[in-house]
Homo-oligomer: A and B are copies of this chain.
Amino acid sequence: MDRDIILKALAHSFRRDVLTWLKEPERHFAAQAHPLEMGVCASQFDHRGLSQSSVSAHLATLASADLVTTRRVGQWVFYKRNEETIAAFQAALSDL
């Protein structure tokens, strides 16, 4: 749980949006072919205003801050919120 890296990761609206979307996958990614229990497939974030390469970089930033977990299944990578890190960060920020 690295506050500095997490704060930098959160300092971009797209990355915060990703975390918000992942709170309610069924609401935001209903079109996904795979079951949402596996997580949300990276490609689901494309075409939301950014190119595929930019989306990939943002997801990598979130993953390196440990704010999301990734799980590779075949040719797909599924993303989920990492509630553990998020909660720890919120707790750490309560004595800001």
Contacts and interface: CB of A to CB of B under 8 A. Distances in A.
A86 B16 CA distance: 19
Q: What secondary structure prevails in chain A residues at the interface with B?
A: helix
Interface in A63-96: 86, 89-90, 93-94, 96
Interface string A42-68: 000000000000000000000000000
The number of chain A residues touching the other chain, given as a range, is 10 to 19
Nearest to A10: B7
Interface string A1-40: 0011001101101001001000000000000000000000
A94 B16 CA distance: 13
Interface of A: 3-4, 7-8, 10-11, 13, 16, 19, 86, 89-90, 93-94, 96
Given A7-B7, A8-B11, A10-B96, 6 more contacts: A4-B13, A7-B10, A11-B11, A86-B96, A89-B96, A93-B93
